[in-house]
Structure 1
Amino acid sequence: MISWRSTWSIYTRELTRFLRTWMQSLIAPVMTTSLYFIVFGAAIGDRMPDLGGVGYAAFIIPGLMMLTLLGETTSNSSFGIYMPRFTGTIYELLSAPIGVAETLIGFVGAAATKSLILAGIILATALVFVDYSIAHPFWAVLFIVLVAAAFSLFGFILGIWADNFEKLGIIPTLFLTPLTFLGGTFYSIDMLPEPWDKVALANPIVYLVSGLRWTFYGSADVDFRVSLGITIGFLAICVAVIATIFKTGWRLRA
């Protein structure tokens, strides 16, 4: 049976850590997103044609949101588990009567909450620069939560794998950010010439950006059901990997 008190303790600890670093966790992403809107939305947007009946400044909102969410969720989650390993306090968590389920629900719940807060702030910031509407708000919230949960777990795995601060930043900096830029953040995959439009589909971030864009405007490069299925599949893989890590004690008990 799940101990909800233990889950709540982990959840509140992670959320409190997030709020303590609000300058880095909230202000920095908002400022970065604002710069993107100023450069790509205001300066370039007026010179770009509508994409799928959507103005360019509004078209890039889901991509910019995904760019921020992936980086922030992965970094926060990986740092959250790496620091207890680095300081040795991870043994308090391992020796406590807390199961894998409580740990995952606490960490993932906090990451999802952070992401929803951040997404809300980004959407409010976007309103300053462009008018937009969300065609499917329920699916938008659900998709954001699923992506946040999946990449929170992915960051959890990254934080356990990393044995120094350099490794902690390798994946977000060298892989996630470039893949997001190449994943249709600022353009539609249909705009690419052959065969690059097909090659782009090998980028998993394409499905995340496309899925979120569908929830906003009802049209996307990839069927939303495919995007949703890939997100849930990645979430399930991360859960299985973390369950194995806790079962074997890999890098936790060393």
Structure 2
Amino acid sequence: MNWHAIRAIYRFEMARTFRTITQSIASPVLSTSLYFVVFGAAIGSRMGDVDGVSYGAFIIPGLIMLALLNESISNASFGIYMPKWAGTIFELLSAPVSYVEIVIGYVGAAATKSVMLGVLILITARVFVPYEIAHPFWMLCFLLLTAVTFSLFGFIIGLWADDFQKLQVIPLMIVTPLTFLGGAFYSVNMLPPFWQKLTLFNPVVYLISAFRWSFYGLADVNVVVSVTAILGFLALCLSAVWWIFRTGWKLKQ
């Protein structure tokens, strides 16, 4: 394993984040804070509890997951797309660096940024809403697992995209709507039976359900099923990355 190469890619990506800290960190935290102000303080104070948890506290896992998914995808996709766009990716591919080391460097940096953002949002939420974390260890595990999985997904999007517009298509048109419809602001059990069953086809439901369980011990879906779904998507992303580097799809054009 070429740890020097991994460290070089990782440090380069992290340095880019700190050069654009307003866009990379401050902007998502501020946007999420507005959700806490509007839904947590203003609207939440006029709503009852959800399964014994105040509404303001109930939406915290969903809001963190919303920011985590978007930032994981955006960081990883932009990180690998820029070398493609600038043409410097051929230098990377011709260097004595395996695709495993490339993926670890880029995905590791993107996941680190996302985890940092998730922790900052969690700290910021304390300013607006009181909450407790019932299973802090599992909360961190789900945070890391989700960040790594969707950073891999973003890495694939960055390889697939031919222009800057395509980088935003999947996060804006698919991931964000699925997150809003995946129980970020409500419990799936509040829906009519038909819509409860239909919602289970939304993969984001399993992410939010498992993450909310780590906070309050509440889950719309069995935690084991949620973890299995997350690991299944991770395996799918790993298989896709392996196939891309094996065939050179979108890399050798």
Task: Output the TM-score relative to the length of structure 2.
Answer: 0.98
Identify the residue that residue 244 of structure 1 maps to in structure 2.
243
Percent identity of paired positions between Structure 1 and Structure 2: 58
Cα deviation digits, residues 97-135 of structure 1 (max 9, x gap): 111211121122212211221111101110100111111
**Contact 2:157–2:167 (CA<8 Å) still a contact in 1?**
yes
| Equivalent-residue separation in structure 1 for 2:221 and 2:135 (angstroms) | 16
In the alignment, structure 2 segments of 5+ residues that lack a partner are none
Identify the residue that residue 147 of structure 1 maps to in structure 2.
146
> Is residue 12 from structure 1 mapped to residue 28 from structure 2 by the alignment?
no
Q: Structure 1 counterpart of 2:6, which letter?
A: T
| Equivalent-residue separation in structure 1 for 2:82 and 2:109 (angstroms) | 16
Aligned residues: 253
SS across alignment from 2:252? coil
Identify the residue that residue 167 of structure 1 maps to in structure 2.
166
| Equivalent-residue separation in structure 1 for 2:150 and 2:53 (angstroms) | 28
Identify the residue that residue 38 of structure 1 maps to in structure 2.
37
How far the C-alpha of 1:231 sits from its partner, in A, is 0.9
Q: What pairs up with 1:75-90 in 2 under 5 angstroms?
A: 75-90=74-89
Cα deviation digits, residues 170-210 of structure 1 (max 9, x gap): 00010010110000000000000120111011100000011
Identify the residue that residue 233 of structure 2 maps to in structure 1.
234
| Equivalent-residue separation in structure 1 for 2:179 and 2:152 (angstroms) | 18
| Equivalent-residue separation in structure 2 for 1:209 and 1:101 (angstroms) | 29
Q: What pairs up with 1:88-237 in 2 under 5 angstroms?
A: 88-237=87-236
How far the C-alpha of 1:10 sits from its partner, in A, is 1.3
Q: Structure 2 counterpart of 1:219, which letter?
A: L
How far the C-alpha of 1:85 sits from its partner, in A, is 0.4
Cα deviation digits, residues 64-123 of structure 1 (max 9, x gap): 000001011101110111110001000011001111211121122212211221111101
SS across alignment from 2:193? coil
| Equivalent-residue separation in structure 2 for 1:14 and 1:230 (angstroms) | 29
| Equivalent-residue separation in structure 2 for 1:57 and 1:63 (angstroms) | 11
| Equivalent-residue separation in structure 1 for 2:237 and 2:15 (angstroms) | 24
Task: Output the TM-score relative to the length of structure 1.
Answer: 0.97
| Equivalent-residue separation in structure 2 for 1:107 and 1:84 (angstroms) | 11
SS across alignment from 1:169? helix
In the alignment, structure 1 segments of 5+ residues that lack a partner are none
How far the C-alpha of 1:164 sits from its partner, in A, is 0.9
SS across alignment from 2:220? coil
Cα deviation digits, residues 121-173 of structure 1 (max 9, x gap): 10111010011111111111111111111111111110111101111110001
Displaced runs of 4 or more, over 2 A:
none
| Equivalent-residue separation in structure 2 for 1:17 and 1:142 (angstroms) | 26
Question: Once structures 1 and 2 are overlaid, which stretch shifts more, 38-47 or 182-191?
Answer: 38-47
